[in-house]
């Protein structure tokens, strides 16, 4: 009898433990998801401006690194702090095809999802997110981008943000220029910036200035003008973009100004 009673007690205790484990399992599973880090697939992609180290996580592209410019170790260390890295060329095949298509002229591929989790501050994330709204075939000045994110005096901070942008090309810091019309610096080097701008329709001269046929577009009125137009000078700068020419402005959905008739001198 004593043995049977002991066996029954053990069986009851085991049943209680199993029931507790079953009840705790959903909470354990949620906790494990928090502990387990997401994976980032890493690969090297060839391009006309040199080899690119690319990494893509569950939410999108995490980094694009110019291998010819600087050693990737710091970038890899930043990735390791947030992701488990997996070297997997097949899984990044679509991303590498996007890069090929971009340099072949298909600019729509830059809408590929990105993940700004490597970006340090809220200001930088706001600036880079706003930058993605600048269409291909257009550029914005450092001053205008600063004003667009509500910090008109933060031009230097915008410059630092562009220099530390972890996802160049897809977060197009090459589309940010100086207020005097020169193209300014670039983390990947000025020569690469020229290639990227030319790929998007800008005829950049050797003096690094944008062409005379460039037009000013206003994102609120949806009108584009010649740079010297009175209406363009009166417009709020944070709503202004500079387009390569009238055709690119029209492609972005803007219509020509009736006062300065920009297409007459921009085609």
Which residues does the annotation mark as catalytic?
Answer: 173
CA distance 22 to 267: 72
Q: What is each CA distance from 60 to 130, 134, 195, in whole angstroms? A: 17, 19, 25
Residue carrying the six token digits 């298909």: 106
Q: How far apart are CA 148 and CA 135, in angstroms?
A: 15
* Residue with tokens 């989790």, as numbered in its chain: 117
| 205-211 contacts, C-beta under 8 A, 24 or more apart | 207/182, 208/182, 208/183, 209/181, 209/182, 209/183, 210/139, 210/177, 210/181, 210/183, 210/242, 210/244, 211/244, 211/245
Closest CA to 65 of 57, 177, 221, 74: 74
Tell me, what DSSP letter sits at residue 67?
T
Nearest to 165 by CA among 187, 185, 133, 184: 187
The Cα-based distances of 121 to 54, 118, 164, 171, 203 in angstroms read 22, 9, 11, 16, 34
Rg over alpha carbons for the chain, rounded to the nearest Å, is 26
């Amino acid at each position: 009898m004593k043995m049977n009673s002991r066996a029954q007690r053990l069986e009851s205790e085991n049943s209680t433990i199993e029931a507790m484990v079953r009840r705790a399992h959903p909470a354990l599973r949620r906790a494990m998801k928090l502990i387990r880090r997401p994976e980032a697939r890493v690969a090297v992609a060839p391009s006309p401006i040199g080899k690119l180290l690319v990494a893509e996580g569950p939410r999108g592209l995490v980094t694009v690194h110019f291998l010819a410019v600087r050693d990737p170790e710091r970038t890899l260390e930043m990735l390791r702090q947030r992701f488990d890295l997996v070297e997997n060329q097949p899984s990044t095949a679509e991303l590498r095809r996007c890069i090929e298509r971009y340099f072949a002229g298909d600019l729509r591929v830059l809408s590929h999802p990105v993940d700004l989790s490597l970006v340090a501050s809220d200001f930088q994330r706001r600036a880079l997110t706003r930058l993605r709204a600048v269409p291909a075939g257009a550029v914005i000045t450092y001053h205008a981008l600063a004003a667009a994110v509500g910090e008109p005096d933060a031009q230097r901070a915008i410059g630092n943000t562009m220099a530390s942008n972890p996802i160049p090309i897809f977060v197009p810091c090459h589309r940010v220029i100086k207020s005097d019309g020169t193209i300014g610096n670039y983390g990947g080097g000025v020569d690469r910036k020229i290639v990227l701008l030319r790929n998007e329709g800008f005829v950049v001269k050797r003096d690094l200035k944008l062409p005379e046929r460039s037009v000013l577009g206003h994102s609120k009125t949806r009108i584009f003008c010649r740079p010297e137009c009175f209406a363009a000078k009166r417009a709020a700068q944070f709503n202004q973009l500079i387009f390569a020419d009238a055709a690119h402005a029209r492609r972005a959905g803007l219509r020509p100004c009736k006062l300065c008739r920009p297409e007459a001198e921009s085609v």
